[in-house]
Structure 1
Amino acid sequence: MSFLDLTGKTFLITGVANRKSVAWHIAKILEGEGAKVVYSVRSEERRESTAKLLDGRPVYVCDVEDEAQINALAEAAGPEHGPFHGLVHSIAFANFSAGPQPFHGTRREDFLQATTISCFSLVELARAFKPYLDPAASVVAIGISSQVTAENYGYLSPIKAALDSATRFLAKSFSADTEVRFNTVNPGPLKTSASAGIPGYLENYLFAEKLTLRKKAVTTQEVANTAAFLLSPCSSGINGQSLVVNAGMDMNYFDREVIDAAMRPKV
């Protein structure tokens, strides 16, 4: 038996966009361990663009901005594939079309839309799938590793903080009648297609890499490995937690190399 003990178990994965997606890396581990993976993508266009990648696998369309679609997803996938032993929430969206803006300039409609998609959709997915979850299922959401005031990440930072908090409250409320666990994996900057859409992301990625203790950025595979562990029975004692995966980035602000570069006189 494999250490992760995932053979024969069933999982729902949301958020696969392409081969670079964190969700896809997680799914590949689960499938490699003998698990069945059911996929949810945001639109028919996304289902078409991932058709080759997800060929032969069950794929549903669900725009999590619409609660009715979340309920329809559960009603369709639950009876057909359940019980689910785990669920992965790897979804985030913010309207950065206007470029970086001061936080106080955030528009209400943008903040509420991003909150619905990036945070509250986890609550709605958990509620909708509750009847179809194994009593000891594991739910994992993908967050961010540090609630820093990155100007280019803007209002999505406090929304990701809300995701962390919502995860803990879900862990508490589900504990009333189940052993379903809720945790987040909070990575440092990654090379994903979604990240590429954030203004100024490349510079932040390279800076974050300099802050890691090993001077090498965290990989998507390393994040997926952590998520797979949390989805497995091996992590049964972990609940309501935010696991940071950033190679020490958030404890290394006073790295000598970074200080020297910052203090070097401009020519």
Structure 2
Amino acid sequence: MLRGRKGLVVGVANADSIAYGCAASLKALGASLAVTYLNEKAERFVRPLAEGLDAELILPLDVEKPGEMEAAFEAIRKSWGRLDFVIHSIAFAPRDDLHGRVIDCSLQGFQQAMAVSCHSFLTMARLAEPLMTEGGALLTMSYYGADKVVNNYNMMGPVKAALEASVRYAAAELGQKGIRVFAVSPGPLKTRAASGIAAFDELIDAAVERAPSHRLVDIAEVGRTVAFLVSGAASGMTGATIYVDAGLSIVA
């Protein structure tokens, strides 16, 4: 289904990462992967996972370090000459700002959260554009808190809302080049990143209770959805936020 497709997966931290679930599904369907790690400390966890997926490129990428995004895409250009998809699965907010009221968050904290969680996706879209000579797909990860108020999600709500709006605008701007853009919105998952949200266990329990399926989704289900969006089967779709949350988002 994806044999011959080449793509970049950003955000693998461990085997529980959404990005890892995406990478595993994409690889299982024949895609060739470039996988990134945040820094030297993270590399010892990410590299074995990437090697287990036969990743052709394993690259450092800290989006807060000037030049690292450009270097990663240049490495892809030199090795592959083209790119078919990008999976952007990173987000960050300073703990003090994340745990406080939205109206109390600091300017510096808000700017950092926006830079890492939202603007980095736009930068990756710009860098990927010249490599997607035959079209492609750009995907990022959102959450229901972008659309509705979720207790303790706090400042990440406005940040993810900006990300979803960015997806729509990028889809409009890149559509003529055959580049499709999506936000995928999983339900709450027990990932390392999510553990920074206050009272996260309560959020999990509430999701299980309220979702029509009365369960959580897993990273494999998110990965299969991502693989569908990357594939030609989703050629008629772009600009949408796709919920993979066992129906939680339909419940008032």
**TM-score exceeds 0.5:** yes
- In 2 relative to 1, CA 34–154 (structure 1 residues): closer, same or farther, beyond 3 Å? same
The residue aligned with 1:163 is 163
Cα-to-partner distance string for 1:184-217 (whole Å, 9 max, x where unaligned): 1111111212111222111011101101112112
Q: Which 4+ stretches in 1 moved above 4 angstroms?
A: none
The residue aligned with 2:136 is 137
Report the more deviating stretch, 116-125 or 54-63. 54-63
- CA distance in 2 between partners of 1:181 and 1:252 (Å): 28
- CA distance in 2 between partners of 1:187 and 1:99 (Å): 20
The residue aligned with 2:67 is 68
The alignment's TM-score, normalised by the length of structure 2, stands at 0.93
Q: Please give the residue correspondences for 1:86-165 in structure 2 after superposition, counting only pairs within 5 Å.
A: 86-97=85-96, 100-146=99-145, 147-165=147-165
Where do 5+ consecutive residues of structure 1 fail to align? 254-267
The residue aligned with 1:200 is 199
Q: 2:45 aligns with which of 30, 43, 49?
A: 49
The alignment's TM-score, normalised by the length of structure 1, stands at 0.88
The amino acid that maps onto 1:173 is E
- In 2 relative to 1, CA 121–171 (structure 1 residues): closer, same or farther, beyond 3 Å? same
- CA distance in 2 between partners of 1:47 and 1:232 (Å): 29
Report if aligned partners of 2:37, 2:59 keep a CA contact under 8 Å in 1.
Answer: yes
The amino acid that maps onto 2:21 is H
The residue aligned with 2:15 is 19
Deviation at 1:34, TM superposition (A): 1.5
Identity of aligned pairs, percent?
29
- CA distance in 1 between partners of 2:26 and 2:75 (Å): 22
- CA distance in 2 between partners of 1:77 and 1:193 (Å): 28
- CA distance in 1 between partners of 2:182 and 2:27 (Å): 21
- In 2 relative to 1, CA 119–59 (structure 1 residues): closer, same or farther, beyond 3 Å? same
The amino acid that maps onto 2:208 is E
Matched, 1:222 2:218: no
- CA distance in 1 between partners of 2:139 and 2:82 (Å): 16
Report the more deviating stretch, 8-17 or 192-201. 192-201
- CA distance in 2 between partners of 1:71 and 1:81 (Å): 15
- In 2 relative to 1, CA 223–145 (structure 1 residues): closer, same or farther, beyond 3 Å? farther
Higher helix share: 2
Aligned length: 248
Cα-to-partner distance string for 1:15-56 (whole Å, 9 max, x where unaligned): 000000111111111111111111122212212222222225
Deviation at 1:94, TM superposition (A): 0.8
The residue aligned with 1:242 is 241
Deviation at 1:97, TM superposition (A): 4.3
Task: Look at both structures and tell me which one has the larger radius of gyration over its CA atoms.
Answer: 1
- CA distance in 2 between partners of 1:70 and 1:39 (Å): 13
Secondary structure of 1:159 counterpart:
helix
